[in-house]
Every structure is written in structure tokens, then in C-alpha cells.
Amino acid sequence: MSSSAVSFAAQNHLRFLDELKAFLRVPSISTLPEHKADCRRAADLLAAELKRIGMENVRLVETEGHPLVYADWLHAAGNTGGPAARSSSAGWKPTVLFYGHYDVQPPDPLEEWISPPFEPTERNGNLYARGAVDDKGQVWAQVKALESLLAAAGALPLNVRILFEGEEEVGGEGIAAFVASKPPGLKADFALISDTELFAPGLPTLCVGLRGMIYTEIEVRGARTDLHSGMYGGAAPNPFVALTQMLARLKDEDGRILIPGFYDGIIPPSTEELAAWRSLPFDEEHYRITEVGSSKLVGEPGYTVLERTWARPSLDVHGIPGGFTGAGAKTVIPAKALAKVSMRLVPGMAPAKSFALYKSYVEKIAPDGVEVDVRLIHSGDPCLVPVDNPYIQAATRALREVWGRDTVFIRSGGSIPIVGDFARHLGLPSVMMGFGLPDDNLHAPNEKFNLKNFELGIVSLIRFLEEAGK
Ligand code: BES
Ligand code: MN
Ligand code: MN
């Protein structure tokens, strides 16, 4: 761990942290139209920083939504990437494609934050802010690893391309379209993604699988207009009642999804993978108390919590907006009702097929008297990344050195839609090396990034790039 880049990072740690705070003060909430300009400000800030540290060809790539940030540094040998270059030139160095996202989730409910979401605050060894760990803090760790390498050696140990996006939290349509067009400027040998977690504090972790998802809306319409519930109640259809009846038929009491054919084709984890999961330090009761905080855990009988969240699909209702929700009472039969419903998908499931099965089931179970519209908002494929490549090996060597322990391979229940696209369109294996913790409150009030993990994350990334460039 004695590289000069590592020393540079140690000497500059306080400045790195101050800069991260400035990045976190920009409320780049991708889903809220009133924060469109803030998203661009976050992209501009990143681009300016990439220029300052010596990255080249820094530019914003416009999309239909928030811009991508591209940069590269291609002065290691064999600078175009790909197996052809590898076989034909001595001293060949691989090309890595960095990925992360500068957008964040909305901070509500605001009253539950101990310090305001966009005023980053240090408290008991953590930095609290929206985006602290998901994903601005981890993007900053990537940028600071590159800065340290460039500052200490004047060069990088391998070729680097960077593609940061600002729409990950809303489905990532812009980057998906860009990557699907296979731009020659994204030619690389592997992707490096810091947007995942350590399985436990101090335990170096590589994430090798993510669930996919379909995010949908069900709209139910009854009467032509809102009606007096005394004059019409009993004769006019109520869209909220119809909607909740339908929602209640999506899952049974055991948490099994009732959509016919939904589970067809699922590829279960191998016995080796299941055995590895069983040896992870995980206690379901501890998880229930410390992370979930409910009186019981739910879900399909016969599967452990790790299997339920990593290797089985799930279905959740996120909100049912509409009707009367103000203080007091209003006797109305609303004309329409809406529900936001998403499903997580696992290997063997395809978003288009899952959505088609779901839509036809929902249409079939719609009660009399209402019209139903089932819409897809966004979707992403599940993914499993190959682990039998030199980049994963280099990563485990670097992580063992930095953390003093062997790396565990885990999956995550969350989704990062672009990872599947990197594999499909660019042929890239992904190294998902992230430094969050299970209790970092992603998407929730009091999101945090452990300061030690920020620091060791930067060192891990530096040492990984040095190993991968050997
Ligand atoms: N970084 C998360 C995904 C994640 C969380 C991976 C925890 C591993 C561990 C990402 O920012 C995220 O929240 N993705 C969304 C994607 C969706 C909006 C398409 C998700 O999973 O809900
Ligand atoms: Mn993220
Ligand atoms: Mn997220």
C-alpha cells in the first residue's frame, strides 16, 4: 500500500472531503423537473473537476434528459482497448470505463433528517447528506483516485474512459440509448462501477449480480367526474376500491406473486453460490431489528432473506396518489385512482415479457365498471457478471491488501440498469466495487457515507487500477 498515489490521497484527504461536500450541496434530484438546472450544475461541476485533475476530452453528452459526463485519458500503451490490441502490441494496457451517477433521490420526508439533506454534515464518523453514498460520494472517490494517480505519477497505469450519468435514479434512458448506439469512444476492456455496498463493515466486497426491474403505473377510471358519495355511493364504481382489490390479487399471503407465468424461466443460483451465501456473516434476526425494524420479516417460505432479496423476484407498491388526502373529511367518490407498482426481476426474466404478463393479468382481474390503464415507466435487465477474468482477480488482490481480508462475492437486490447494457452492447464485464454499508440509508432520510469507507474506497480504487495496469 506504499504507492505514491496512496500517499497523495492521504495528504489531501481533508481537501477531498471538502470538495465532496460542495458536490453534495447541489440538489441534483433527477426526478423533479424543478431541479433540472441543478442536475446540469452537478454535471458541470464534475466536468470542471475532471479537467482540473488532467483528464482529457472532457465534455457533456446531451441526452433527452440530464447530460452525461464523458472524459478520457488514453496514453497508456495500446490505447483503444479490445482483444485485437492486446494480441498485437507488447506493453499493452487495458482500458477501463468508469461509471457512476451524479443524480440523487428526492430527500422527503424532510422532517426526519437530523441535519438538512443538502447541507452535508459530519457526525460520528459519517458524512450525512442526500447522495453521500448513492452515488456522489462514490463518484467522488473514483475521481479522487484518478487525481491521486495523475498527481503522483503524471500518468495513469492504464487507459481510462469515464461515463457518468444523471438519470440513474429515474431509469437511465439517456445513457441506455447512448450505449446502445455503440459509440467507438466507449471502447474498453471492462467497466468499473462504484455504486454498491460492502456486505459488512470492514469486509471487502465485490457485487456480481443485480436484480432488474419494471416500474409501472396502474390507472383506474370509474365515473365521468368526481361524485357525491352519499348521492351515488352504492351505485357508482369506486376506482380506489377497484384498485386495491386488484393490488390485493398481485401477491398471496406468503408473498408469492400471482401473475401467471411470472416465475417461468428463472435461473436459480448454483449450489456453490448458495453455499457461499450461507457462509456470509448474516443473521436474519439482527437484520430484522437493525435494518428493517418491523415485527416480522415476510416473503416466500423456503428461501433465506438473501435468496429472497438477491435471487427471487419481488413486487412492491410505492404509492397510491389521488382522491382526497387532505386534513378532515370530504365525501367524494373520486373519478380516478393511480398506483405506482414495481417488480424486481432476476436472471432468466426479461422486462418486456414480465410486463406483458403483468399487464394482461391486471386487465383480466379488473372489476366491472372501471377502465384500467397499465403503463410501463422504465425497465432494466437483471445481470450477473463473469468473475473469471483478470480484472476481478486484480480487484481481489488490491482489496486484500487494503482491507487485510479476503473479498466476498455478493449479489444485490437493487438495480443499476446500465450494467446489463455494458455487457450486451459493449461486451464489457463489470467490476462492481462499492463502499456503502447496508445501514447507509440509501433513498431514505439521513443517508450517510462512512468517512473511513470514503478514505479506504479511494485507496482501494487506486490500488486496483495499479494492479489492473500491471
Ligand atoms: N445504487 C443503487 C442500486 C444499489 C443499491 C445497488 C444497493 C447495490 C446496493 C442505485 O442508485 C439505485 O437505487 N437504483 C435504482 C434503479 C431504478 C430506479 C431503475 C433502484 O434499484 O431502485
Ligand atoms: Mn446508485
Ligand atoms: Mn439509488
Query: Going by CA atoms, what residue is nearest to atom 5 of ligand 1?
Result: 414
pLDDT 10s digits, 397-426: 999 999 999 999 999 999 999 999 999 999
- Topology of domain 212-266+313-380 in CATH is Alpha-Beta Plaits (3.30.70)
Give the ligand with the smallest distance to the CA of 135.
Answer: 2
In percent, the amount of the chain with pLDDT more than 70 equals 97
Query: Going by CA atoms, what residue is nearest to atom 14 of ligand 1?
Result: 415
pLDDT 10s digits, 116-132: 999 999 999 999 999 99
CATH class of the domain comprising 4-210+383-468? alpha beta
Above 70 in pLDDT, residue 227?
Answer: yes
Closest ligand 1 atom to 417 CA: 19
Q: How far away, in angstroms, is 338 Cα from ligand 1 center?
A: 24
Question: What pLDDT does residue 79 have?
Answer: 52
Question: What pLDDT does residue 103 have?
Answer: 98
Ligand 1 site, residue 208, Cβ cutoff 6 A: no
pLDDT 10s digits, 152-211: 999 999 999 999 999 999 999 999 999 999 999 999 999 999 999 999 999 999 999 999
Under 8 Å CB-to-CB from 111, ≥6 apart: which residues?
none
Query: Going by CA atoms, what residue is nearest to atom 4 of ligand 1?
Result: 414
Ligand 1 site, residue 380, Cβ cutoff 6 A: yes
Q: What is the CA radius of gyration of the chain?
A: 24
Question: What pLDDT does residue 85 have?
Answer: 52
Read off the C-alpha cell for 148: 491521486
Question: What pLDDT does residue 91 have?
Answer: 84
Q: How far away, in angstroms, is 59 Cα from ligand 1 center?
A: 26
253 tagged catalytic: no
In percent, the amount of the chain with pLDDT more than 90 equals 96
168 tagged catalytic: yes
Q: Which comes out higher in pLDDT, residue 83 or 227?
A: 227
Question: What pLDDT does residue 2 have?
Answer: 61
Mean pLDDT of the chain: 96
* Residue from 195, 205, 341 whose mutation best tests the ligand 1 pocket (most atoms within 8 A of CB): 195
Query: Going by CA atoms, what residue is nearest to atom 8 of ligand 1?
Result: 196
Question: What pLDDT does residue 245 have?
Answer: 98
**What residue segments make up the domains of the chain, in order of their start?**
4-210+383-468, 212-266+313-380
Question: What pLDDT does residue 115 have?
Answer: 98
Which member of 103, 189, 197, 307 is catalytic?
103
Above 70 in pLDDT, residue 371?
Answer: yes
Q: How far away, in angstroms, is 329 Cα from ligand 3 center?
A: 36
pLDDT 10s digits, 228-280: 999 999 999 999 999 999 999 999 999 999 999 999 999 999 999 999 999 99
pLDDT 10s digits, 42-78: 999 999 999 999 999 999 999 999 999 999 999 997 5
Question: What pLDDT does residue 450 have?
Answer: 98
pLDDT 10s digits, 68-84: 999 999 999 755 555 55
pLDDT 10s digits, 298-346: 999 999 999 999 999 999 999 999 999 999 999 999 999 999 999 999 9
Closest to 391 in 3D by CA, of 225, 216, 193: 193
Give the ligand with the smallest distance to the CA of 207.
Answer: 1
Read off the C-alpha cell for 87: 494480441
Under 8 Å CB-to-CB from 315, ≥6 apart: which residues?
250, 251, 257, 341, 342, 343, 344
Answer whether 42's CB lies under 8 Å from 23's CB.
Answer: yes
